[in-house]
Each structure stands twice: as C-alpha cells, then as structure tokens.
Structure 1
Amino acid sequence: MSLSPPFKDAYKLYEKEAKIEQLRLVVGQSPFLLLGNYAAGLTVLIGSWQTVDRPTLVGWFAALVAFSTLRALLARRFIPGQVDPEAVSRWERRVLASTLISGVLWGSAGHLLYLHGMLDHDFFLAVPIIGMGAAAVTAHSYHQFAYPLFFIPAVTPLVLNLAQETDITANIISLATPIYFLMMYLLSQRIYRASHAAVLCGFANQHLATHDYLTGIANRRAFHEALEREWARGSRSGKPLSLIIADIDDFKHCNDTFGHSTGDEVLRTVASAIQHRVRKGVDTPARIGGEEFAVVLSETDLTDACQIAEDMRLRTHAATSVAATGIPATTISLGVACMTPDAGTSPNLLFERADQALYQAKLEGKDRVVADRRTEQVD
C-alpha cells in the first residue's frame, strides 16, 4: 500500500520518535548489564586470583565495577517522555560511547590478564569475555551500531593473543571466534531491523488512529478530543476558546467535473492552507467530514479568530488556480464562534454556533467568513 504525501512526512517525523524508543530499549537493559558485568567480572577476579598479578587484576575489576555502576546511574536520567527530540543525538552519542568503553574494558581483560603459555587460565579467561560478547547481542541490538561497538574491542585482544599460541586448540578458537561473532552481528542487525520496523509501525498506527489519511491533519475523533480538552482547559483558565468550521464551496461539482483524483488534491490543498495559519502544537486543524474542516483555537478571541479564518480563505484562493496548479479555483466558506468555557456547559454549544455561522455564510453567497456575534460568555 502506497502512502499519501502527508503520511510519508509522518513516517519521517516518527523516525526521531522511533529512535528515542529504541534508545529507551537499549538503556532499559542497563540493570541487566550491570548485574552481568558484576557477575562476569567477579568470576574473572576469583578465577584469576592465584595466577594473575593481583594489583592489575584488582585495578581492572575496580574499573569495571565503577564504570558499570556509573553507566547504570546515568541511564536512569534517560526519561523518554522528557527527552527533547533535538537532544536525541546527544543521548545517542552517550549510549554509543558508554557501549564502546564497556567493550574496551572487557578487551583490556583479554590483554592485561592474559598469560601466554598458561592455556588453562587463558581458556578460562575466554569464557566470560566471549560470554559477555554473546550476551550483549540481546542488550545492544536495538541500535544499529551498538553491538559491534561492544564486541569488536571486547574480543579482539583475546583473539590476537590466542592466535599467537602454538597450541592448535588456541589457534582454532582464535579462528572460530570472529566467525561466531560475525554470525552474532548478522543476528543483531536482523533484530535491529525488526525492532525498528515494529516501533515505527506502532507510531504510524497511533497516527492513523487520530489523523485523516488523505490530508494528514487530525480526524474527527482527534478533533472532538481536542475540543473537549481545550474546553476543560479554558474552564480552568477563564481564557476564550474559538472554533472555525470551514466547508469547500461546490465541492460536489468539482468532483463531478474534474474527477475524484482532482477532488482529493483540492482537499489536500485546502487542508494545507488551513494548517499553514494555525499554531503548531497549540491549535488543532482537522477534517471532520467529506469537505468540511474545523480548527480549535486555544486562548483566541473572536477578533483574532475571524482574522485567522479570513487568512485561510485568502490562502485557499491563492493556492488553487487551474493555470498555475491544475487545481480548479476553489473557495471556502467559514463560520467562526467564540466562547469562554464553563465547566457546567458542553462544548457542543460552541460547535453549534460555529456551524450556524457557516450555514449563514453559505446563505449569504459563499466564499466568506461569518462570525457568531452573540456574547462570548456562556448564557
């Protein structure tokens, strides 16, 4: 199924949201990584106590514990709902840097704690290092680059040391380990692609539930939710709430004359003209019927609402021209109403007044803005 242009833009928008969610999944593994590092590090400490230089061993273990603890504490500061999309790259760099450092710490074990010629010890040392590399595939596969940033520095020193041994078993392990981790890397990429697609589809489904597929603006369900929400907000703040209802003039004639594909393009053009004039993240433009649109204007009085409606009407004129765009010249009629919400009254009254004003605009000849001039206060 091909996506309409608004939904292609939505997918681009949700790429950042998907990245935040996938960072959350990576960061969410921090408690398990902390316990895993503690357990594997303690295993190395106890198993190497009698063979490795103790100051070196204790220093390595202390560095591992300190960094793993710091990493877990920093991860607790990552709260997805409070992360500014513009700060995503900064958090991403932190996550990747901490993953790389963790890999380097485990790689240093394969260098500092490795004892040439003592294969019993070296094979023992290989178990937690390779084990951590394998276990990391579940923790780091939610980001495209996290897993290789961990396992490459973690296993490379061990593999190089084993390759220098004269023992055939050590040589086989040094050859098999890169192949094994190549398979793990390919698996991690499959996990990443599947998780990324799932997260992106989740956001897209949320978008589909609240947005009109053709125009990309809010649908009727989202409009009513916004109207109820802003009505409740206005009843607490005492600020006015305005509503614009717009209807494309003679839209049936446009469909019958130019075809439904042209009609769809007209709908998208009008939606764009309406959306251009509203405050992003504050007002709610919506398609609430076939050729009918509505805009919820938070904390906006009647004068400003009428000016916004007039700008929408003029922008629609400018955006539709057979000669310039191939779209038939299109006009819209708009009804505007404003009230100061009251907790004991339904926002349906505001909708009815704006709808009546729209009806009056149609009666007066279309292509105009008509405002409901009754008191802005609830009776």
Structure 2
Amino acid sequence: MPIPIFDPFHAPGGALKRLPLLKAAVAFIATVCLCLCGLLYLQLEQSRRYDLESARVASANLTRAMAQQAQDTFLQTDLVLASLADWMQIDGFGPALQPRLQTTFSRRVQSLEQLHGLFLFDKHGQWVVTSFKSLHRGPGIADREYFTFHQQNASLIAHIGPAIRSRQNGEWIIPVSRRLNDQDGNFQGVLLAGIKMSYFDKFFKSFSLDDKGEMVLALSNGTLLARRPFDEAKIGRSLAQEPIFQHESQSMTSGNVTIRSAVDGVLRLYDHQHLQAYPLVVTAAMSEEAILAGWHDRAFKSILIVALVVLGICLFGWVFLRQVRNSERIEADLRKAQEALELIATHDSLTGLANRRLFERALDIEFGRGARQRSPLSLVMVDIDFFKRYNDTYGHVAGDHCLAEVAKVLKSCCHRKADLAVRYGGEEFAVLLPDTNLHGAMALAEQIRQRVIDTHITHSGSPIGYLTVSLGCYAFVPSSLDSIEVFIQRADAALYQAKHGGRNRVAALSTEGGPDPLERSDR
C-alpha cells in the first residue's frame, strides 16, 4: 500500500484537477482566429452586397435617364412630324408649296439637335422635299422598311423603323415616319425624320461606364438601334434570342438581372426599361468586375490585415505553446524525480519493499481508520532463520540475493492493495494487514513460510538444509488509547516465540498478550 509524499503539483485531496493548459491554449487561439476570419467574412459579404445593391440602384437610375432621354428625343421628333403632317394634310405639298416646305424643314432640323434631316416622299417613294438645299435625286425609297410599312398600314401614328444609312450623306440614322393621306384617306406619301445615331452615341458617352459595360437602345422586337460601345456590325441585329432580351420580354416595364454574356463570358448586371409612349427599350449593363473593383481592393487590404493579425496570434501562440510544452516537460521531469525520491525515501533499495519510514506512516493511518471503523488490524513479523550463518557461509552477495528472494515471496503473497510488505531491518521483514483478523494473518504467514521453503534456497547452516523463516502474528481492533509501539512489540514477541520454539514456524500472540495455542511448524 504505497503512501505518496506531498505532491506540490496537485491540490491537496485531489479534488481539484489541473487544467489542460496546452489544449485550452490551442482551443483559445483557434477560436480567436476563427472569430476574426468569421467577422472578416461577414464584413466582406455585407460590403459586397452593399456594392451590388448600390450598383443596382445606379443601374436603375441610368436606365431611367436613358429612357427619359430617348422618350423626349422621339417625342420632340414626333411632334415636329405631327405638325408638318397636319399642315400638309390640309394644304398638300404641290410644287408651289415645296420651296416653303423646304425652308420649314430646314428650320425645324436646325431647332432640334437630334435631327439629321426631314424628308418628304410621294406615294411612289420618290423624293419631294428635304431639309437639305440640294434635293437628292435617286431611285427613291420604295424599298425601305418604313415606306412599305406605311403603304400597308392605314395608321397615322409615328413609326420607328430599324436604323439605316441615309441616302443623302451615308450617315447612320434612326427613321421616324408618318403616313400622309389625301382628303379621301388614300395613301399619299411618307414624311420622314431621321434621328442621328451619333446623337445617342454622344448621350451614352456622357455617362461614366466601365470598359466592359454596355448601353443599348432597341426596338421592342429586339432590333438594335444604338449601342455603346458603337459597333457598326451589330446595328440592325436582332437581340430577341439573347438571354437578357428574353428576360426583358418576360419581365414588366423595368427590372434588373445578372447574366453571363454568351459572347464574351463577362458577368454583367443588366437593367432595362420600356418606353411608355413608343415601342422601344433601353438597356444598361455594368460588368460585375467593375462593380466590385472597389470591393476587391478593400477585401484585399482587409484580408491582408487580418492575415497579419492571425499570423501574429499564431506566432505568439506558437511561442506560448512551446513555453507550455517546456513547462510541462520540466514538470514531468520534476514529477519523475519526485516519484524517484519518494521511492527512495519510502522503499528499500535492495528488496523493493517498503521501508520503516513508510511502515510507520501506514501504521499511523491504519490505526486511525481501524479505530473509526472498528475493523481488525494484523501484523506479521518475519525473520530469516540462521541468516548470519548463511552470510558467513555464502558471503554477503549471496546474502543480498537471499533477502531479495524472500522479498519476492512476501510480495507474491500480498494480494490486496492495502497489504504492505516491509523490510523492517537486516534479515527481518513485516507484513501489515488491514481488515484482517488473527486467523487470516496466520493463514498468510503459513503461506509465506511454505513458499520460502519451496524456493529451495540451499542453506547448509540450517538443520533441514534449506532456507526457512520464522513468523510471529498479532491482531487486534485498535482504539484511540492503543500504542503503535506496543502493537509492534507484541508481534515481535510472537516472532520471538516462533524462533524460541525451534524456528521455521508461525506463532501468534493473543489480544490479551499471551501466546496463541495454535502454532504451525514444519516438524
């Protein structure tokens, strides 16, 4: 029954356990780093959503401005055409009136920045009057889409056709035309106003847009009228099959969506709006790369700062953990040294049994426990027979070996943790047996005596030729008035009786102090 000496690294009584500092430090450092990364992620995600939402608002404002400008442009042009059409509906456009019409056309074009020119064609598509001083004389415009439209439709409202090149000077224009009828409602000709495409190009360029952004003016059927950046090859192209235009056609008058372009693979935020008065739609697109350019810059700086902070924490944690490991290693070494010192202080170095110091402490503890619980306490004193003769015959080295063999027998017979085998001094041993009465002690003593004989250690100085031991037993229920010294003396007296009675035997002393009538020996 080992009785540990005081351990400065453990709380008295063992009620409080030392905190696992290394694991706690690792968990704390990991938690701090994860919290920093989590906060960074939340902040960046919130910032990203804010930038995207701001871009949606800006895109919506841009499309509203585009739609308003387009509507004002076409409305002004339409009003000019309507007033001229009403005039010619009444007065006609005979040769006498043509000089006056040419002057009026010219003044109207000069008053509106967006107008390329005004043109009047008869029912055969031939040139009648233009805003230009020199009248273009060509094959006519009977093949033009707007002329065919008015020939086949009796509607007098303005018609906006696909963009064309002016046959007057080759400039790209967007045709806005009206049908002219005679007094009887028969088709009489077409009045055309050409809106300069360069006007919209200039208007589009007035907005700040990234290099990968787009601004589009198109007919409701998807025919492209004007675009930024300008690409002549795409003018007149149908956008009906483009994902963005399909989304526009499915949505209401306005809306936005983020779509990856099938042409260049660029992810863009598209916003569109349909004009209320005319079959037109405007679209503005900003690349997500440009929208998030500022966010990417802030994110890089934030990530760099947090990474440096995390690196600093990790470096500090690494140094701290090394110190903790070193402290634990030093503590472990101290504990091992303490255990070694405890073993040296409480155990015999030759036999490995408990020494008298540990024996006395154990006696003190068991006396107190026995008194509290009213449980018996037994002591067996063991002495090697004729050990001086053994030393004189075989030498002290053999004597030490003999002591070690007897100690092994005592250890093997002590089956309970509470049993304590002790080297009491020289060739004398003791076995302390808590919760054991006299009969139990004698049974154990007899087992020890027989096993020593079974080791067959030759002893020429012994009458039987082998090593034997004598054992004395004493047992009683201790009280607060009993003395430890008396307890040992009575067990020692029983040992004396065993030796005086011929050795190689077990003797016991009764609680009254007299010899027990039971003595076991090998006679």
Judge same fold: TM > 0.5, yes or no: yes
Are positions 1:28 and 2:165 aligned together? no
Partner of 1:337: 474
Aligned counterpart for 1:373 among listed residues 510, 514, 518: 510
Query: What's the Cα RMSD here?
Result: 3.6
Amino acid at match of 2:491: A
Aligned counterpart for 1:347 among listed residues 484, 488, 508: 484
Are positions 1:202 and 2:338 aligned together? yes
What fraction of aligned residue pairs are identical, expressed as a percent? 31
Q: Deviations over 1:243-271 (max 9, x none)?
A: 00111122222222222222221111111
Provide the C-alpha distance between the structure 2 equivalents of 1:116 and 1:369, rounded to a whole number of angstroms. Answer: 94
Partner of 1:357: 494
Provide the C-alpha distance between the structure 1 equivalents of 2:334 and 2:366, rounded to a whole number of angstroms. Answer: 32
Provide the C-alpha distance between the structure 1 equivalents of 2:31 and 2:334, rounded to a whole number of angstroms. Answer: 32
Q: Is residue 378–residue 473 contact of structure 2 (8 Å, CA) maintained in 1? A: yes
Q: Which moved more, 1:213-222 or 1:126-135?
A: 126-135
State the Cα distance separating 1:136 from its structure 2 match: 4.2
Partner of 2:307: 126
Provide the C-alpha distance between the structure 2 equivalents of 1:142 and 1:316, rounded to a whole number of angstroms. Answer: 53
Pair 1:34–1:319, CA change in 2 (3 A): same
Partner of 1:69: none
Amino acid at match of 1:235: A
State the Cα distance separating 1:367 from its structure 2 match: 1.3
Aligned counterpart for 1:304 among listed residues 422, 435, 440: 440
Counterpart secondary structure, 2:425:
coil
Matches within 5 A, 1:112-261: 120-137=301-318, 194-261=330-397
Q: Deviations over 1:77-111 (max 9, x none)?
A: xxxxxxxxxxxxxxxxxxxxxxxxxxxxxxxxxxx
Counterpart secondary structure, 1:216:
coil
Are positions 1:275 and 2:421 aligned together? no
Partner of 1:317: 453
Provide the C-alpha distance between the structure 2 equivalents of 1:37 and 1:349, rounded to a whole number of angstroms. Answer: 64
Amino acid at match of 2:499: K
Pair 1:351–1:35, CA change in 2 (3 A): same
Q: Which moved more, 1:337-346 or 1:115-124?
A: 115-124
Q: Which has the higher contact order (CA 8 A, sep 6+)?
A: 1
Q: Which moved more, 1:275-284 or 1:215-224?
A: 275-284
Query: Which structure 1 residue ranges, 5 or more long, are not aligned?
Result: 1-16, 56-114, 144-187
Partner of 1:87: none
Provide the C-alpha distance between the structure 2 equivalents of 1:289 and 1:352, rounded to a whole number of angstroms. Answer: 15
Pair 1:289–1:131, CA change in 2 (3 A): farther
Amino acid at match of 1:252: K
Provide the C-alpha distance between the structure 1 equivalents of 2:334 and 2:343, rounded to a whole number of angstroms. Answer: 14
Q: Is residue 25–residue 321 contact of structure 2 (8 Å, CA) maintained in 1? A: no
Which is helix-richer, 1 or 2?
1
Counterpart secondary structure, 1:366:
coil
Q: Is residue 335–residue 356 contact of structure 1 (8 Å, CA) maintained in 2? A: yes
Q: Is residue 40–residue 303 contact of structure 2 (8 Å, CA) maintained in 1? A: no
State the Cα distance separating 1:51 from its structure 2 match: 3.1
Amino acid at match of 1:215: T
Pair 1:129–1:348, CA change in 2 (3 A): same
Aligned counterpart for 1:284 among listed residues 404, 414, 420: 420
State the Cα distance separating 1:209 from its structure 2 match: 1.9
Query: Which structure 2 residue ranges, 5 or more long, are not aligned?
Result: 1-9, 49-295, 460-464, 515-523
Q: Is residue 476–residue 511 contact of structure 2 (8 Å, CA) maintained in 1? A: no
Q: Which moved more, 1:346-355 or 1:38-47?
A: 38-47
How many residue pairs get aligned? The number is 248
Pair 1:119–1:259, CA change in 2 (3 A): farther
Pair 1:316–1:139, CA change in 2 (3 A): farther
Partner of 2:203: none
